[in-house]
Copies of this chain bind each other. A is one copy, B any other.
Amino acid sequence: MTNIFNLPVELPNEELFESLASSTNLLIERIISTGQTTPTGEWYDQKRDEWVILLQGEAKIAYLDNPAVTLKAGDYLLIRAHQKHRVEYTSSEPPCIWLAVHGNLQ
């Protein structure tokens, strides 16, 4: 049995993206963040919708056209395709564990 809370003994300096299941039009991935943020002035602009839940840690996501949101464990949200957003904060103690589903959700 595979457990999403099992982390590698040593985490890399970069965010860690791991595919848990995928097909042509759908990707389920785990993301581990340990303090990384989106560089100032940069925005994610994704082709697909992303449904994402934070399962451990604390984080803050900012939008270009909407108020920023702070997330704690269990909080989830839907980021529409091309909705510009950036990660403003991720906790490192404990690391952030995200579960993201990328696909067509509209």
Q: A residues engaging B (CB < 8 A)? A: 1-6, 20-26, 28, 49, 51, 53, 55, 69-78, 99, 101, 103-106
* A25-B25, A51-B28, A99-B53 known; A3 vs B105 contact (CB < 8 Å): no
**Shortest CB distance A7–B (Å):** 11
Q: A25-B25, A26-B26, A76-B20 are in contact. Are A53 and B4 (CB under 8 A)?
A: yes
Q: How far is the CA of A65 from the CA of B61 in the complex (A)?
A: 44
Contacts of A4 in B (CB 8 A): 53, 74-76
Task: Tell me the minimal C-beta distance from A100 to chain B in angstroms.
Answer: 11
Given pairs A6-B74, A25-B103, A25-B104, 15 additional interface contacts (CB within 8 A):
A1-B69, A1-B71, A21-B51, A21-B105, A23-B103, A23-B104, A23-B106, A24-B104, A25-B25, A26-B26, A26-B103, A26-B104, A26-B105, A28-B101, A28-B105
